[in-house]
Structure 1
């Protein structure tokens, strides 16, 4: 980030992009939510679900949760 602060004038568009991308804090929360959701969906009684169907169910559940917030 400090390099971009001093050299941002040379590359203004890249500087904006670098600030946006490099300033994102690393976190494992989103991936932990997906694993938790997958654990709710794939239970012992549903262990024979097709992987593609599991992906679709996780996608639907994650998006339903976002709409309710």
Structure 2
């Protein structure tokens, strides 16, 4: 089989050396979660982002904020929520 048929094989081989940061992201998003705790964590974070004081946030902006919150950790970026 071609390695492009299996994303995990594609990102675990030679391409993991070429693009190490993309490899980290691919392993995170191409793996199935073992529990529902990740989705529960996401809802908890969303509750912090969308509060009574931030009711005018557009859904697209909420999605972007949650994406950044969950992915900046991969790069060891430190911030306060």
* Larger helix proportion of the pair: 1
Structure 2: any 5+ residue segments left out of the alignment? Answer: 1-31, 77-81
Q: Based on CA coordinates, which of the two structures has the bigger radius of gyration?
A: 1
Gaps of 5+ in 1: 1-23
How many residues in Structure 1 have an aligned counterpart in Structure 2? 46
Q: TM-score normalised to the size of structure 1? A: 0.55
* 1:53-68 equivalences in 2 (<5 Å): 53-68=61-76
Q: Which has the higher contact order (CA 8 A, sep 6+)?
A: 1
Name the Cα RMSD after superposition: 2.1
Runs of 4 or more, structure 1, over 2 Å off, are 64-68
TM normalised by structure 2 equals 0.48
